[in-house]
Chain A
Amino acid sequence: MSSSLAANGNTRLNRTASRWLSPRVGVFRAAGLVGAAACLILLGPGCAERIPVEMGKQALVLKSAADSAEFRSNLRSTQLGSGPPAGSTNQLAIYTGESITLAFVSSECAGVPDVMEVRGPVAAVLGSNACVDPWPSQTLGPSPSDGILDFVLTDPRFGRGPYAVTGTYPDYTVYVEDGFMDFDYNDNILSCHFTPPNCLPSGDPVLDDPAARHQFRDGLNASSPNAPPGTGQKHEHGGIVWKRPDNTYLFQDIPDAGATECHYALSGGNHPPPEPGMIPAGGWHTHPHTNNQKMYGCEPATMWSQVPGDHKPVAHAAPNSNGGGSEPDWSAADNAGIPMYIINNMGRVWRLDPNTPQTQHPFNNHHWNWKNPSTAGCFTP
């Protein structure tokens, strides 16, 4: 879009934004002429070239909701940006007890006043004129609950847009669009740093790493544990737990295209370390169920219900039975010679150690609570 800011110490405003900040622009705004006239008077024809025009309407002089809708529906593809950054995701979760520090990085938009907010378990208005004014950093939290952070940049004419996230715990970059929807994902760019709750040692080195705890919870979230069974949304997730040379851990998510509500299999073949020097410390997967919750889509399909209403018997889950895992889960640990970590929607994390005698599986005492623990946000024995 037409203005840009950078918060790297050399904040720069391009010509359009400078004019927006000038007293003269305020006069025009007060006169109800919005920005187009100001732009034309102050910048001349060069300004108009940068203001998107569709169906004869300039973006800066749209006055009604109908104008905005017509303009947006006719946006030419040539005006669109390249979309969200490569490798980005469209949501960022925060878990109970975590705090976040949000800092302005840059802006590239022209709405006056665009309002930058974060919504969710922690919420705040970050900037009330976020295309023009770099907003101050804010630390929010500890979060009172689990939830998804929603980053909202609202243009007074076009409303809000989507956002995209890159990075890994604890540091992310958030690319926010306003409702102008030119898909350049740079209308506001901010950094988001997570601070974990202080947790007592869990007795397990993997679970004592706050990044690992967050990523394990992310894995459960990706399984849509609270979706109704049989809707096709809920499915097991899993991957490999990698240990770095500095004794921190990474939960690598390795999707299984054949995963169902009752099965996940780590794909065969070679799984190289995501970073040099990493060694496998375990496997992990999710059991996104509560006790006696229905499980659809189990095999064989001729025997078990695949979708609600198909009049076949429905298998039910017991995620805390057998020490937290099925016999194939225990076998996976045996075969790999490393533990299998399992998180379920009963609020429990289990570690299945290799070579545990089968008769001892039901008495597995390597388990932690992630829900309603004694310390919010911790994995409590």
Chain B
Amino acid sequence: MKRKNCLAIAWTAACFGILTTHVPIGASEAGSSQCKAADSISTRVNGFISDLLLSTDSGDIAMRDTVGINGVQPSQVALVTDSRICSRLASEIDHLAGVNNSGRVIYAFSVGNTFGALDPTIKASEWVQLLFYDNHYKFLWSVSVF
């Protein structure tokens, strides 16, 4: 009897685990999108990324190498509207900020095969940070934008 209970609990836990590993991507679809729409801030950030991609400064080139965006053209920068991507990036930013499920709404950009994410409330002292993630949502880099 005890063994049956244990098995049941194990199966339940396993199923729950499988479900939770798949849920986050689509979780926000039921609610409002965590993607910020295009506005003056997204225009500024887009401009920042474009300048970064075209810069001949050695620091910028080294950063592009690290992030893996050397060779990406400004025309390949786009505001992300896919709520699953924004939700996942928002979740990663929550992790960075040490909070859970904040429901933050972010500006997300696809930059070649990477993502740039910006929440105006995420600052390093006075500087709002643009956060770069790879396509597995691994944190790569943080840079001051404004």
Q: Determine if B63 and A316 form an interchain contact, defined as CB atoms under 8 angstroms apart.
A: yes
| Distance, CA A315 to CA B63, complexed state (A) | 12
Query: Which B residue's beta carbon lies closest to that of A319?
Result: B144
Interfacial residues of chain A within 172-199, with CB under 8 A of chain B in the complex: none
Q: Determine if B96 and A313 form an interchain contact, defined as CB atoms under 8 angstroms apart.
A: yes
Interfacial residues of chain B within 37-77, with CB under 8 A of chain A in the complex: 40, 43-44, 47-48, 51, 55, 57-60, 62-63
A11 within 8 A of B: no
Q: Determine if B144 and A316 form an interchain contact, defined as CB atoms under 8 angstroms apart.
A: yes
| Distance, CA A316 to CA B66, complexed state (A) | 13
A17 within 8 A of B: no
A22 surroundings in chain B (CB, below 8 A): none
Interface bin, chain B: 20 to 34
Interface bin, chain A: 20 to 34
Query: Which A residue's beta carbon lies closest to that of B141?
Result: A316
B78 within 8 A of A: no
Query: Which B residue's beta carbon lies closest to that of A293?
Result: B59
Q: Mark A295-331, 1 if CB is under 8 A from B, else 0.
A: 1001100111000000001111110011000111100
Given contacts A262-B124, A316-B144, A322-B146, contact A303 B98 (CB under 8 A): yes
| Distance, CA A326 to CA B126, complexed state (A) | 7
B98 shortest CB reach to chain A, Å: 6
Q: Determine if B57 and A291 form an interchain contact, defined as CB atoms under 8 angstroms apart.
A: yes
Q: Determine if B142 and A262 form an interchain contact, defined as CB atoms under 8 angstroms apart.
A: no
B11 within 8 A of A: no
Give 30 A-B contacts (CB < 8 Å), ordered by A residue.
Answer: A262-B125, A262-B127, A262-B144, A263-B125, A263-B126, A290-B59, A291-B58, A291-B63, A295-B124, A295-B144, A299-B125, A303-B96, A304-B124, A313-B96, A313-B142, A314-B142, A316-B144, A317-B127, A318-B48, A318-B144, A321-B144, A321-B145, A322-B44, A322-B146, A327-B126, A327-B146, A359-B40, A359-B44, A362-B44, A362-B47
| Distance, CA A293 to CA B62, complexed state (A) | 10
| Distance, CA A327 to CA B55, complexed state (A) | 22
Q: Determine if A358 and B127 form an interchain contact, defined as CB atoms under 8 angstroms apart.
A: no
* Contact partner, B139, options A295, A313, A318, A361, Cβ 8 Å: A313
A223 within 8 A of B: no
B143 surroundings in chain A (CB, below 8 A): 292, 315-318
A16 surroundings in chain B (CB, below 8 A): none
A260 within 8 A of B: yes
B127 surroundings in chain A (CB, below 8 A): 262, 298, 315, 317, 326
A315 surroundings in chain B (CB, below 8 A): 124, 127, 129, 142-144
A260 surroundings in chain B (CB, below 8 A): 125
Main DSSP-derived SS at the B contact region: mixed
Query: Which A residue's beta carbon lies closest to that of B55?
Result: A291
Q: Determine if B48 and A321 form an interchain contact, defined as CB atoms under 8 angstroms apart.
A: yes
Q: Determine if B60 and A292 form an interchain contact, defined as CB atoms under 8 angstroms apart.
A: yes
A346 surroundings in chain B (CB, below 8 A): 57
Given contacts A260-B125, A291-B60, A298-B125, contact A316 B44 (CB under 8 A): no
Q: Determine if A318 and B40 form an interchain contact, defined as CB atoms under 8 angstroms apart.
A: no
Q: Mark A343-365, 1 if CB is under 8 A from B, else 0.
A: 00010000000000011011000
B25 within 8 A of A: no
| Distance, CA A290 to CA B126, complexed state (A) | 17
B97 within 8 A of A: yes
A366 shortest CB reach to chain B, Å: 17
Closest CB pairs A-B (n = 8): A291-B59, A315-B124, A298-B124, A322-B146, A292-B59, A263-B125, A292-B63, A328-B126
B57 surroundings in chain A (CB, below 8 A): 291, 346
A276 shortest CB reach to chain B, Å: 34
B40 surroundings in chain A (CB, below 8 A): 358-359
A314 surroundings in chain B (CB, below 8 A): 142
A329 surroundings in chain B (CB, below 8 A): 126
| Distance, CA A316 to CA B139, complexed state (A) | 14
B145 surroundings in chain A (CB, below 8 A): 318, 321-322
